[in-house]
Amino acid sequence: MSFAELGKAVRKQFFYKFKLFFGLFYSLVITQAIAIVFSFNGTGSISSGQIGQIHFYSADIVLVFTFGWAFISALQLTTKPFRDNEYLFVFNRLSSHLSNLLFLLALSFIGGLSAYLSGYLLKVAVYMFFDFQLIGTNDITSPAVVVAGIITIVLYIWMFASLGYMVGSLVQFQKVFAILIPSIIIGCLILVALSESEAIIRIGKFYFFESSFLLVFIKTTATVCLCFLISAVSTNHLEVRK
Amino acid sequence: MLQSDGTPIYLQIAEWIETEILKGNFQADEKVYSQYKLAEMFTINPATAAKGLNVLANENILYTKRGLGKFVTKEAKAIIIHKRKNQKLKGLINEIVMEAKRLHVREEELMVMLKKAMKESGGQSGGSDSL
Amino acid sequence: MEVIHCENVTKLQGKAKALDQLSFSIKENTITGLIGRNGAGKTTLLKILGGLWRETSGEVKVLSRRPFNSLYVSENSIYIDDAFHFPSHLNLKEILREGERFYPNWNRTLAERLFDYFEFHPKQTHANLSKGKRSTFNMIIGLASRCKVTLYDEPTAGMDRAVRKEMYRVLLKDYLEYPRTIIISSHYLEELEDLLEDVLLLDNGKKVLHLPMDELKEFAVGLTGRSEVLLQWLRGKTILHQQNAGPNELYAVVKKEDISLPEAQRLGMTISPVSSSDVCVYITDRGQGGIDRVFR
């Protein structure tokens, strides 16, 4: 198998997947629309006697929802009905994983871009539907910062997608993971809620309190690669069209 | 066109070509159909058709020109007639005799039946093929 | 040249052996019929050859490569069955277009002509087709892809007889025009046998026979005669199948090479040919007597 052969197959599969999994874009639109509605409540507010009340509006909820959407969409890709559609024409496991990796990146890009833009949509909506005075926070931003911001969002979404992909692949590999992984996630959440577990909060800080763009880039792509490596190894013996 | 009476297909193909030769549809030194043409005609595997052609080649009814195909030999007609007389006709007659014995039909009676059949099919010269 | 080569291939499914030490090889540009009863291992074998499933042990070579995880084999082979899951939201024309994008030897003219001939509608979806129509469509994919190795698993399931006959003819004509290695499994051996060059007969995951179709047709003969005479004469020989053919009359199927036909004739037995599909059934019979044992 040469790289040219592999590249050709990956490219074909990539475009095929766009047609195949077009439904994921609908679910993106719905997810983000719901998130925007939730955002109308504001993410926080301060009351002050002199100037009344200040509501903070941001697209954070949209982002969180998009992360969830990416995770679940990627997980779906690994399930049997999706795989049966995927393994129809020319493929092997490696080309399939690589094209999924790229497809999820494309998906994240669209999700990230629309999440970013939904911040503006939110401002417009709030301005139109509520009788508020808008106070911009970061109106003057250079294009470079905007681009870096969008790329960062895309990278985070991609990371969540690859996590979902890894979870899905592990479940395909061993059904035990279907019970194990949700228990671990819920367990972690409980730990955070009850005792503010240091380790988990540190993981959160490691990823989300990083101010250097370069480090964000390195951390997320490294995580993505790790997730795909685990997925590829765990499904390398997977039989299709059973 | 082919029968499913248990006769192997390649023999049926051979017999079909023989009959075509007898009818004069393939003349001496004329090329007969290729295995692919036969396969297409009868919807059979070309290997089977080739086997039928080879049977005829082994009996000197056809000869091979390398790269060109199979051609009818000059003696083809004579060989076929001789063969059919000795094999097919003999076989059929054997069967008739066996059946006649089982039914206790006497020799004279059988001869009468035979002659009658001959007359009905238009005399002795009736060369209609029996395929 | 050998296009397919299997050596001691075993496939475990759970604890059962779907394939059991299977060894055979198939020459280039031949049509082989894969015959066997339900559960004999036909689908398992074809899916392994197509690279969809993985052999448990043994060596499988398709186009000199191990098919599982091989892009080369995937590109040059196609596995067609009636459970082909095409995406539900692509219509038939779109599926054909995808096939064309993926397979290097795809013949668009053939695909479109067959598509029109069998009266498919471009906007139909695969899920809405009837069983026979679905099989027909899948077979069009298999024909048009023109893969070096084409594996058909019960391709005519659900088709009516007229369509089956037409499909056999299409298969043959396209094979004559563009020779390739074809394996076709089917329960309609008698309809299919003229197309086949070789037959591979499986039973319980093992190879029973692998021989040219012509030889299979002459593999066995049926003898009818007086029971005592027949049984006496056949003592020590393998009787593939026997059943009563009247009072004191017995019909027995034996291997042709085991007996002398002139002698049988002399003993007053009636000799009859045995169809290849009957031979396959008799050889893979579960013990003597077959289904009649159930009623004993």
pLDDT in tens, B63-85: 998 888 899 999 989 999 988 88
Inter-chain residue contact B9 with C169, CB threshold 8 Å: no
The architecture CATH gives domain C217-295: 2-Layer Sandwich (3.30)
Q: Which residue, A95, A96, A74, is CA-closest to A28? A: A74
Of C52, C70, C71, the CB nearest to A240: C52
**Which of C31, C190, C214 is facing B8, going by the closest CB pair?**
C214
CA angle at residue C214 from C275 to B26, to 5 degrees?
Answer: 115
Chain C residues whose beta carbon lies within 8 Å of the beta carbon of residue A22 = 89
Q: Is the ipTM of this complex over 0.85?
A: no
Q: Which residue of B lies nearest to C265 if distances are taken between CA atoms?
A: B98
Mean pLDDT of chain B: 86
Tokens read off for A200: 């988990």
Helix axes C92-102, C108-117, angle to 10 degrees: 160
* Band of residue B131 on the pLDDT scale cut at 50, 70, 90: very low
CB A62 within 8 A of CB A36: yes
Residue of C nearest to B98 (CA): C268
d(CA C214, CA B9): 8
Contacts of C101 in chain A (CB under 8 A): 12, 15-16
Task: Provide Rg for chain B, Cα atoms.
Answer: 18
The residue ranges of every structural domain in chain A are: 3-173+210-234
Chain B residues whose beta carbon lies within 8 Å of the beta carbon of residue C262: none
Q: What pLDDT sits at residue B48?
A: 92
Residue A112 is encoded by which pair of tokens? 């990230």
Chains with at least 3 CB pairs less than 8 angstroms from chain A: C
What distance in Å separates residue A75's CA from the closest CA in chain C? 18
Q: What is the mean pLDDT of residues C82-105?
A: 86
Q: What percent of chain B is modeled with pLDDT above 90?
A: 45
| Tally of residues, chain C | 296
- How far, in Å, CA of C66 to CA of B112, rounded? 72
Of the candidates C21, C9, C25, which has an alpha carbon nearest to the alpha carbon of residue C183?
Answer: C25
Chain A residue numbers touching C90 (CB-CB < 8 A): 19-20
**C10 inside 8 A of chain B by CB:** no
For CATH 3.30.70, the residue range(s) in chain C are 217-295
Interface of C with B in 116-175 (CB under 8 A): 168-169, 172-173
Fold of C2-213: Rossmann fold (3.40.50)
**For chain B, domain boundaries:** 9-76, 77-120
Q: What is the pLDDT of residue A149?
A: 85
Please count the residue pairs, one from chain B and one from chain C, whose beta carbons lie less than 8 angstroms apart.
Answer: 48
Query: How does pLDDT run across A214-224, given as a tens digit for each residue?
Result: 888 899 999 99
Chains that touch B (3 or more CB pairs under 8 A): C
Averaged over B114-128, what is the pLDDT? 71
Are C129 and C115 contacting, i.e. CB atoms less than 8 angstroms apart? no
Taking only the tens place, the pLDDT of each residue in A195-215 is 776 777 788 788 877 778 888
In the prediction, which pLDDT does B88 show? 80
pLDDT in tens, C28-53: 999 999 999 888 999 999 999 999 99
Whether A19 sits inside 8 A of C71 (CB atoms) is no
Interface mutation vs chain C, best among B16, B45, B53, B94, most C CBs within 10 Å: B45
Best of C27, C165, C180, C197 to substitute, by most chain B Cβ atoms within 10 angstroms, is C197
Mean pLDDT of B3-32: 88
CA closest to C216 among chain B residues: B8
pLDDT exceeds 90 at position A132: no
Structure confidence at residue A235 (pLDDT): 85
Residues 187-246 of C with CB under 8 A from B: 190, 194-197, 212-214, 217-218
* Contact yes or no for A23 and C89 at CB 8 A: yes
Q: Do C86 and A20 touch (CB under 8 A)?
A: no
Q: Where are the beta strands (DSSP E) in chain C?
A: 2-13, 16-27, 31-36, 57-62, 77-80, 149-153, 181-185, 198-203, 206-212, 220-226, 239-244, 249-255, 270-273
Q: Are B1 and B44 in contact (CB under 8 A)?
A: no
Q: How far is A83 from chain C (nearest CA, A)?
A: 10
**Three-state secondary-structure class, residue C221:** strand
Parts of chain C belonging to CATH 3.40.50.300: 2-213
Q: Is C271 on the interface with B (CB under 8 A)?
A: no
C69 touches chain A (CB under 8 A): yes
Using one digit for the tens of pLDDT, what is the confidence trace for C102-126? 999 999 999 999 999 999 999 888 8
Interface contact A26, partner C, CB < 8 A: no
Q: Which residue of A has its CA nearest to C68?
A: A92
* Mutate which: A25, A90, A99, A236, vs C, most C CBs within 10 A: A90
Least confident window among B116-125, C136-145, C244-253: B116-125
What integer best gives the mean pLDDT of chain C?
Answer: 90
Percent of chain A with pLDDT over 90: 24
**Which chain C residue shows the shortest CA-CA distance from B94?**
C265
Which contiguous run of DSSP H or E holds residue C42? helix C42-49
User: Which residue is closest to B47 within chain C, CA to CA?
Assistant: C197
- Say if the Cβ atoms of A16 and C102 lie within 8 Å: yes
To the question of domain B9-76 being in CATH 1.10.10.10, the answer is: yes
For residues A172-181, b (16+ Cβ closer than 10 Å) or e, as one string?
bbeeebeeeb
Distance CA A233, CA A225 (A): 12
Q: What is the pLDDT of residues C10-24, one digit of tens each?
A: 999 888 899 999 999
Q: How confident is the model at residue B130 (pLDDT cuts 50, 70, 90)?
A: very low
Q: Does C99 touch chain A (CB under 8 A)?
A: yes
Chain A residue numbers with beta carbons less than 8 Å from the beta carbon of C53 are 239-240, 242
